[in-house]
Amino acid sequence: MKKFFKRILKITLFFLICGMIGLGGIYAYAKISPKIEINGANSLAIFDDQGDLFFQGSGSKKWIELKNISPNLIQATLAAEDKNFYHHQGFDLFRILKATYINITSKSVEQGASTITQQYAKNLFLDFDKTWKRKLEEMWYTIEMEAHYDKDTILEGYLNTINYGHGMYGIENASRFYFNKSAKYLSLAEATILTGIPKSPANYSPLVDFKMAKKRQLLVLNLMVKNKMITEKEKEKAYKTPLEFSNQENVNTPNTVMYYQDAVLKELEKIDSIPNSYSKTKGLKIYTNLNLEAQTNLENIIQEEFQGVEKLQISTVMMNPKTGGIVALVGGRDYQKSQYNRATDAVRQVGSTMKPYLYYAALENGFTSSSSFTSEKTTFTFANNNTYSPKNYNDLYGEKPISMATAIAYSENIYAVKTHLFLGSDALIDVAKRVGITAKLDDVASLPLGTKEINIIEMAAGYSAFANEGYQVQPHLIEKVEDSNGKVLYQAKKKKTKVLNSSLTFILNNMLTGTYDKDYIDYNYPTAISLAPKLTHKYALKSGTTETDNWYIGYNPDIVTAVWVGYDENQNLSTKEYKYAQNVWYKTMEFYEKGKKDRWYQVPENVSSVLVEPISGKPATEDSPKKKLMYFIKGTEPTLDDHVFDEKLTNSKKS
């Protein structure tokens, strides 16, 4: 047995020596390799549509030298993040082994083993891929930093580039933000509360969750005591010291522009022409489509509308329909409480906002604004005697033929399903795909009722094809990216693809104004009739409602605004909660159009206008109680003897 253990020991020593020789060789190669630039980590400057800076990561004016940083902060950081920083060559092997043992025995990832140099190396990259290739790149950067820079330089860079929450990168920025003082003057209490933040800024910022921040501070203080940096008495005094924050009031206001910033960084990762590390660019200048006035107003409206409301969430996208440029974006009510970006990452059931794709397909297949189906309770029977019985909202039916324009105004489900089955599912799916919907759309009878989950940016882009009279646009936030020397690394392509007929989009756009038009008041009310006295401009508008989701998407030639309201947990909405999406939508649109002339679409040469009875779609006569101007492709205008006004589907039956 002794011989066996001696042999194992020899083999272990052999591999250990080989490993040390190999590692030594790697460090030697790193020493003679070109020196990497490390002070560009997280160096980002993001500009709005006017070229004004609205976000800057580290590399800002507030870079501070290590000698000017409070020793309290330096010691707290070393104790919390890497107590052996000055004694290893980038990797703490003992710490790695210890963390591995603890994680294996506990069957969970309870401890990490990244050194300060490793964390700094990770921050040199624009994204945080978890691939093996990225891990190897981070390891190489760690070795290169240790080979080319002394420890003080690495620590200084690290402290000037890490994230302290609320968009504050670097300790000097953070110190001035939280305490209105330079990092040179941080007390032990202040230093330890700040040191706890980078582990998880969303959880440990004292301005977000003070109790969690204090719990983390105590952990940092205990580590300092354990490493004999402070005494137990100093720990108790620091922990009990009252803290006064200079930005408490400002941070309680939702800072939704951070959702836009996060979306920009997510889009940046997908641009192939951008090098994946800051060391190759020495920082980036990113020019976006952000309209800061629109974003600020949108944020103010949301804050005003949701006062006293808990848990209910919102996402909103404002898009230039001519370019696809996203001028404002909100991914939630309060970035400080939830960084989950519902605008970029969520997919939700879209409800009746799916119907305009269907009705465009209908126009393309010979339907007109006057084409009618009977509004009545209907059960559809399919193969194998499978049935489907959709219902209208509030179970209201006209018990008579109604026009497509009326069906849009009321968001009539029976009419939509009849149209969908009449055309075949391919028609709706084809139009949705043409305008940019990438979600997989199922071949089901309920598809036009919005049972499919789709992202809000895709929906805004889809409606942009209606707003710009037929062109698919690529939704995007970034217009241009430059490196630190002004070299253009990326320029957004102004690509528009004609996918819809402009005459048909004109007809559809006019029908979508019926959702708030009093001329459609009959056995039902238009879905957005309450907005009629509040709108000073003309818009196309469609709402969508499911048990868990409420949407408003509307537009004119200038702007498309999409609003979603619901719960992250898919909790059912109450009727009184439907007002939030509507109010945010109309107030946002009205503010954006304030002071502008009312812009609408010119009547195409091949389109004629006819006075009709809006509910039935029949041509108006002298005896007609209501008359409305509707638009038709020339040659398709309705006549009094059209049989379509007495439709009865043979494949349906009354319930």
Task: Verify that 19 and 124 share a domain, yes or no.
Answer: no
For 96, other C-beta atoms within 10 Å of its C-beta total: 15
Mark which of 211, 232, 252 sits at the end of a domain: 252
**Interatomic CA distance for residues 613 and 629, integer angstroms:** 9
Each residue's pLDDT tens digit, 253-312 = 347 788 998 999 899 888 888 876 655 566 789 999 999 999 999 999 999 999 989 899
Out of 43, 352, 369, 503, which one is annotated catalytic?
Answer: 352
Q: Is residue 581 included in any domain, yes or no?
A: yes
Band (pLDDT 50/70/90 cuts) for residue 167 is: confident
Residues shown for the chain: 655
400 and 488 in a single domain? The answer is: yes
Whole-angstrom distance, CA of residue 241 vs CA of residue 239: 6
The two tokens of residue 442 are 């199922």
What's the predicted TM-score (pTM) here? 0.81
Q: Which is catalytic among the residues 43, 70, 81, 190? A: 81
Range of weakest confidence among 199-203, 378-382, 520-524, 590-594: 199-203
Q: List, for residues 350-375, the tens digit of each pLDDT value.
A: 999 999 999 999 999 999 999 999 99
**Does residue 612 fall inside a structural domain?**
no
Which residues make beta-bridge pairs with 177? none
- Of 217, 236, 252, the residue at which a domain comes to its end is 252
Least confident among 60-69, 502-511, 541-550, 602-611: 60-69
What CA–CA distance (Å, rounded) separates 456 from 184?
46
DSSP summary character for residue 189:
H
Residue 382 shares a structural domain with residue 460: yes
Question: Per the domain annotation, does 46 fall within a domain?
Answer: no
For residues 78 and 152, what is the distance between their CA atoms, to the nearest angstrom?
A: 12
Measured from the Cβ of residue 91, the count of other Cβ atoms closer than 10 Å reads 17
User: Above 80 in pLDDT, residue 81?
Assistant: yes
Question: How far is the C-alpha of 152 from the C-alpha of 145, rounded, in Å?
Answer: 12
Report the DSSP beta bridge partners of residue 319. Answer: 326, 560
Confidence (pLDDT) at 253: 39
Q: Tell me: do 19 and 96 sit in the same domain.
A: no
Domain membership flag for residue 176? yes
Place of tokens 């957005």: 528
51 domain-assigned: no
Strand partners, 607: 633
Q: Is residue 41 part of a domain?
A: no
More confident call, 133 vs 578 = 578
pLDDT at 653: 37
pLDDT(527) > 80: yes
Classify 253 as helix, strand or coil: coil
Residues 338 and 416 in one domain: yes
Same domain, 519 and 420: yes
The position carrying tokens 């939508």 is: 585
Name the band, by pLDDT with cuts 50, 70 and 90, for residue 104.
low
Q: What is the pLDDT of residues 10-38, one digit of tens each?
A: 666 666 566 556 566 666 655 566 666 66
CATH number reported for the structural domain that contains residue 245 in this entry = 1.10.3810.10
H and E: helices and strands count for the chain = 22, 21
H or E stretch at 330: strand 326-330
Judgement on whether residues 21 and 78 belong to the same structural domain of the protein: no
Tell me the CATH number at 472. 3.40.710.10
Do 453 and 532 share a domain, yes or no?
Answer: yes
Asked if the structure places residue 331 within a domain, the reply is: yes
Domain boundary pick from 252, 287, 322: 252
Containing domain of residue 205, as a range?
Answer: 63-252
> Quick check: is 39 in a domain?
no
Mean pLDDT lowest among 82-96, 364-378, 416-430, 637-651: 637-651
Range in 42-51, 425-434, 519-528 with the lowest mean pLDDT: 42-51
Mean pLDDT of all residues in the chain?
87
Q: Is position 277 annotated as part of the catalytic site?
A: no
Q: Are 45 and 32 in contact (CB under 8 A)?
A: no
Clarify whether 81 is annotated catalytic: yes
Q: Identify whether residues 91 and 229 lie together within a single domain.
A: yes
How many structural domains is the chain composed of? 3
- Indicate whether 385 and 523 sit together in one domain: yes
pLDDT tens digit sequence for 307-355 = 989 899 999 999 999 999 999 999 999 887 888 999 999 999 999 999 9
Same domain, 99 and 212: yes
- Lowest-confidence region among 42-46, 207-211, 330-334, 581-585: 42-46
Same domain, 317 and 398: yes
